[in-house]
Amino acid sequence: MTPAEFEAIRNRMVQEYAAEHVAAGNWSAEDAERRATEDTRALLPQGVETPGMLMLVAETSGAEVVGRVWLALERQPGSGGGAWIYDIEVALEHRGQGFGRALLAAAEDEAARRGVDSIGLNVFGTNTVAQSLYRSAGYDVAAMQLHKKLGPGVGPS
């Protein structure tokens, strides 16, 4: 990914990340975009040129960018080591054509080429298409986080 490509998608990445956290019940809608912006800035202070981060794109044969993957070559200290996929996305109109699988394979190849022995990622519970892709690519569940909304009349009586 070029710096210009990154700048063109940065806002969309932040908005999508914020929306996923709101949908999962992790963040309030009022606070989500600020938190997503802060997280992204902290992880990518130099954008696509941030050391230890790789931003790869998928292109059609006509050089149209149709997807991306954001890979950290080393996880944060204390998080279990290995590489980490922060984001992977294929444009809606290009899904189901193998671009997601190709991006995942490219991330794995780049990590292995750099001596990394494992890759981890998070996937939101509602994203069953991504879960299926990861399972079919050999990823195993390492942890599971559960969530339950509570409200009036819910819970023990």
For the stretch 61-84, pLDDT in tens is: 998 889 999 999 986 555 567 899
- Please report which confidence band the pLDDT of residue 155 belongs to, taking 50, 70 and 90 as the band edges: low
* 105: number of Cβ within 10 Å: 13
Token reading at 14: 């932040």
Contact 3, 104 (CB under 8 A): no
Distance in angstroms (rounded) separating the CA atoms of residues 156 and 129? 35
Q: For tokens 């050999």, name the residue.
A: 138
CATH classification number, 52-138, choose in 3.60.110.10, 3.40.630.30, 3.40.47.10, 3.40.190.120: 3.40.630.30
Identify the CA nearest to 89 among candidates 13, 2, 10: 13
pTM value surpassing 0.85: no
For the stretch 107-143, pLDDT in tens is: 999 999 999 999 999 888 888 899 999 999 999 988 8
Dihedral over alpha carbons 112, 114, 133, 39 (to 10 degrees): 150
